């Protein structure tokens, strides 16, 4: 498979009064062209920070202390961490676009949807006539199943959550990016609007041959949409594999714990098992494996040194010394 | 079993607008609600945002007055009670809100938060007794060792720990019914289950009754498996019955649509679900409801001339099992 994005040993910190928040620690990850990769993790696991770093939109308190992000497509190659100024503006949104978390806050409340679109075009130095733009926008809005006449003249508050999310997706697709990053695309939505967004994402992926990076805490969204899943815990990747490997043959105790803790609707009733304890403080991390205080498989070696992410099966990576001990049948 | 709470023909209307350019309108948030909760049972209330589930919770907790209809506490109308009866009712019904970050006073530590209701309601008579009672409560909610937590402030606690404090506060007055309004929705996957476990232990150890309000069907299934579930749509109950029956063999098309729309944390199951195609993606506004059954404009089974004319009542299809659909019994 052809790789489109390659993150190499990335470290990101936030400076706060109490010290340094180590939000991303040594993440290496490859994204293949045309796939949907889900990055899952709980709040504070660093998944949004990782997502923002890919389009270089980190807040000013964040610092990339180490690492590189390579992007390569259509004969162009960029190193994202070192991009800036005009080059960055030409890269962002045209190559990689992002749909941000919480659909309402992503809009300026006092301008109409049409003006949002014009703003996006203006700020990315795109030369396009109003007529061409209009045709493009109408096409996109139809793709996301919105009525263009109504939506373009509306203010954000006049649209429902699901409609706003669809507008955001259309905005992200405006400059025909190769990759789109979706940060919690369905979190604040109701079940039925959530479903319509899921179906929409499946459709645009098929029609536009996009690469999608999905950032979510929701395992079921990953199960529904992803080809591959990367599980993040305390700023590091603990397991990466195909969606079937992750859900049916997890090798990291944290992944296993998550799967056992999530209830399902259509399968028969089963007992759930919770993960004891809570995630670590990112300023003051425990030594060794960051999951060891909550892990029932831990041994002395887990307290000494942090395990590295290693490939143990084809396309299945895990950062755990004890992965061979982790057994999970589909029915237990 | 004895009924703790009974709602008889309860309506709740809100008036909106009333400005010069904005004529007054009546928002019928709840219409003709009939519901009872028995001692020691779990009743789950599910539905999408705006369906009136939180309003129902507030009515039951006595935080707002119904526009018409009766809310009975052990057979007595709460809004016709004398002062001491009302006080007793208020003590017996406690509410746990969704957001543990905003439901605790940030400048009060746990001791202050919990001692205020204990002293105010004369549950304890001295400071010594107060401390004893607080330790007991913290042990019940699993904030141990007690000495580590008792003088902590909310910002020193994680989301899950804060929600435990909120639950401890709800328990201070020895309530019989807890209204849990999306009590675990904001918590992370790994924490959510431990709070659910805590609530279930209260039911087992103290015969606590629960009204569990949620949009998460899988959580309702897990928490309310031995109880009943009511599905609400735009201010009305459309289906109500024992949880296993409703979730495994739903009768109302809306319940079916919801169950089929929920993504599941299992790739094979979720990808093989046959999603119900609704005729409209968006929820109609409460100000502009379709005639007849309010789901008729979205329902794929809609029969013209019937569903768009008659507003269905809740029919009892078997003991304790109700559905509000004119087409029930015709293989829908």
Task: Report the distance separating Cα B132 and Cα A141, nearest Å.
Answer: 62
B contacts of A296 (beta carbons < 8 Å) = none
Residue from the list A258, A267, A273 with its beta carbon closest to the beta carbon of B266: A267
Residues of chain A in contact with residue B281, where contact means CB-CB under 8 angstroms, are: 145, 162, 192-193, 196
Kindly identify which residue of chain A lies nearest to residue B214, measuring between CA atoms: A190
pLDDT at A4 over 50: yes
Provide the whole-model pTM.
Answer: 0.89
First to last CA, chain A: 34
Asked, as a colleague might, if the bond just before B46 is cis with ω within 30 of 0, I would say no
The yes-or-no verdict on residue A8 having pLDDT over 90 is yes
Q: Binning pLDDT at 50, 70 and 90, where does residue B137 land?
A: very high
Is residue A10 within a helix (H) or strand (E), and if so which, with residue range? Answer: strand A3-16
CA dist., res. A2 & res. A32, Å (int): 6
Q: Tell me, what's the pLDDT at B287? A: 86
pLDDT in tens, B29-81: 999 999 999 999 999 999 988 889 999 999 999 999 999 999 999 999 999 99
Q: How high is the mean pLDDT of chain B?
A: 91
What separation, in Å, do the N-terminal and C-terminal C-alpha atoms of chain B show?
Answer: 33
The model's confidence at residue B329, banded by pLDDT at 50, 70 and 90, is: low
Question: B20 versus B33: which is more confidently predicted?
Answer: B33
Q: What ipTM was estimated for this complex? A: 0.86
Q: Distance (Å, rounded) from C-alpha B118 to C-alpha B123?
A: 5
Neighbours of B311 (CB within 10 A): 16
Q: Given an 8 Å threshold on Cβ–Cβ distance, is A195 in contact with B275? A: yes
Q: Which residues of B touch A (CB under 8 A)?
A: 48-49, 158-161, 188-194, 197, 215, 217-219, 221-222, 225, 244, 247, 257-259, 261-271, 273, 275, 278, 281-283
Instruction: Spell out the alpha helix ranges (H) of chain A.
Output: 47-54, 85-91, 113-123, 130-143, 148-153, 161-172, 191-208, 219-225, 243-248, 253-261, 300-304
CA–CA distance, A255 with A249 (Å, rounded to integer): 10
| Chain B residues within 8 A of A269 when measuring between CB atoms | 221-222, 225, 244
Q: For residue A192, give the nearest of B101, B310, B215 by alpha carbon.
A: B215
Is the Cβ of A247 closer than 8 Å to some Cβ of chain B? yes
pLDDT given for residue A112 in this prediction: 94
Q: Which of B194, B265, B273 shows the shortest C-beta gap to A262?
A: B265
Alpha carbon of B27: minimum distance to chain A alpha carbons (Å): 17
Nearest Cβ partner for A274 among B197, B261, B281? B197
Read off the pLDDT of residues A136-151 as tens digits, 9 standing for 90 and up: 999 999 999 888 888 9
| A244 contact B CB<8A | yes
How far off is chain B from A327, nearest CA to CA, in Å? 17
Distance from the A272 Cα atom to the nearest Cα atom in chain B, whole angstroms: 8
Name the residue facing B264 among A194, A220, A261 (closest C-beta): A220
Contacts of A276 in chain B (CB under 8 A): 194
Q: In this predicted model, which residue has the larger pLDDT, A161 or B175? A: B175
Give helix B159-171 / helix B127-140 axis angle, nearest 10°.
130
Question: Is A261 close to B193, i.e. CB distance below 8 A?
Answer: yes
B201 Cα to chain A: minimum distance (Å): 14
Identify the pLDDT of residue B330: 57
Contacts of A63 (CB under 8 A, 6+ apart): A12, A13, A14, A15
Q: State yes or no: pLDDT of B143 exceeds 60.
A: yes
pLDDT at B88 over 60: yes
Give me the percent of chain A exceeding a pLDDT of 70. 98
Asked if the model's pLDDT at residue A330 lies above 50, the reply is no
pLDDT reading at B332 higher than 60: no
pLDDT at B191: 87
Q: A192-223, pLDDT tens digit by residue?
A: 888 989 999 999 998 888 999 999 999 999 99
Measure the CA–CA gap between B250 and B253, rounded to whole angstroms: 8
């Amino acid at each position: 498979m052809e790789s489109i994005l390659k993150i190499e040993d990335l470290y990101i910190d936030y400076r706060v009064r109490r010290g340094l928040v180590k939000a991303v620690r040594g993440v290496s990850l490859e994204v293949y062209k045309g796939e949907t990769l889900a990055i899952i993790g709980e709040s504070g696991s660093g998944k949004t920070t990782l997502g923002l770093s890919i389009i270089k939109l980190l807040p000013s308190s964040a610092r990339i202390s180490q690492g590189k992000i390579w992007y390569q497509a259509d004969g162009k190659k960029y190193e994202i961490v070192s991009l800036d100024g005009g080059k960055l503006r030409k890269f962002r949104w045209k190559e990689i676009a992002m749909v941000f978390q919480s659909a309402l806050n992503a809009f300026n409340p006092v301008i109409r949807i049409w003006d949002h679109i014009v703003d996006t075009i203006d700020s990315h130095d795109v030369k396009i006539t109003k007529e061409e733009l209009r045709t493009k926008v109408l096409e996109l809005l139809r793709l996301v199943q919105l009525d263009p006449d109504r939506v373009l003249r509306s203010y954000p508050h006049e649209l429902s959550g699901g409609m706003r999310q669809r507008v955001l997706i259309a905005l992200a697709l405006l400059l025909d990016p190769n990759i789109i990053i979706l940060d919690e695309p369905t979190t604040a939505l109701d079940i039925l609007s959530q479903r319509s967004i899921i179906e929409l994402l499946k459709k645009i992926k098929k029609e536009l041959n996009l690469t999608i990076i999905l950032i979510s805490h929701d395992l079921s969204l990953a199960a529904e949409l992803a080809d591959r899943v990367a599980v993040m815990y305390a700023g590091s990747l603990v397991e990466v594999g195909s969606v079937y490997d992750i859900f049916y043959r997890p090798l990291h105790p944290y992944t296993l714990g998550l799967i056992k803790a999530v209830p399902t609707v259509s399968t028969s009733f089963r007992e759930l098992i919770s993960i004891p304890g809570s995630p670590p403080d990112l300023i003051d991390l425990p030594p060794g494996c960051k999951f060891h205080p909550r892990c029932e498989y831990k041994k002395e070696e887990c307290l000494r040194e942090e395990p590295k992410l290693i490939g143990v099966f084809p396309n299945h990576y895990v950062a755990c010394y004890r992965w061979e001990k982790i057994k999970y049948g589909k029915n237990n | 079993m004895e009924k703790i709470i009974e709602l008889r023909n309860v309506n709740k209307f809100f008036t909106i607008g009333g400005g010069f350019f904005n004529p007054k309108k009546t928002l019928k948030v709840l219409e003709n609600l009939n519901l009872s909760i028995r001692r020691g049972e779990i009743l789950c209330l599910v539905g999408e945002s705006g369906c009136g589930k939180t309003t129902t919770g507030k009515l039951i907790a006595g935080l707002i007055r119904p526009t018409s209809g009766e809310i009975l506490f052990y057979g007595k109308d709460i809004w016709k009670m004398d002062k001491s009866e009302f006080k007793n009712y208020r003590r017996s019904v406690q509410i746990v809100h969704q957001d543990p970050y905003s439901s605790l006073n940030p400048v009060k530590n746990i001791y202050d938060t919990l001692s205020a209701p204990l002293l105010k309601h004369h549950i304890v008579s001295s400071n010594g007794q107060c401390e004893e009672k607080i330790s007991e409560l913290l042990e019940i909610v699993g904030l141990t060792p007690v000495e580590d937590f008792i003088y902590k402030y909310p910002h020193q606690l994680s989301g899950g720990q804060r929600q435990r404090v909120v639950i401890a506060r709800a328990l201070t007055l020895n309530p019989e019914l807890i209204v849990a309004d999306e009590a675990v929705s904001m918590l992370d996957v790994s924490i959510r289950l431990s709070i659910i476990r805590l609530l279930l232990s209260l039911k087992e150890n103290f015969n606590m009754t629960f009204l569990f309000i949620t949009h998460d069907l899988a959580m309702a299934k897990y928490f309310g498996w031995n109880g009943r579930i009511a599905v609400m749509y735009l201010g009305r109950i459309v289906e109500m019955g024992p949880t296993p029956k409703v979730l495994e063999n739903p009768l109302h098309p809306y319940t079916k649509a919801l169950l089929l729309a929920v993504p599941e944390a299992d790739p094979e199951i979720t990808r093989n679900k046959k999603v119900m195609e609704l005729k409209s993606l968006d929820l109609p506004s409460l100000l502009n409801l379709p005639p007849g059954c309010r789901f008729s404009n979205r329902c794929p089974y809609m029969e013209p001339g019937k569903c768009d004319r008659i507003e269905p009542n809740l029919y009892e299809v078997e003991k304790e099992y109700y559905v509000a659909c004119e087409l029930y019994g015709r293989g829908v």
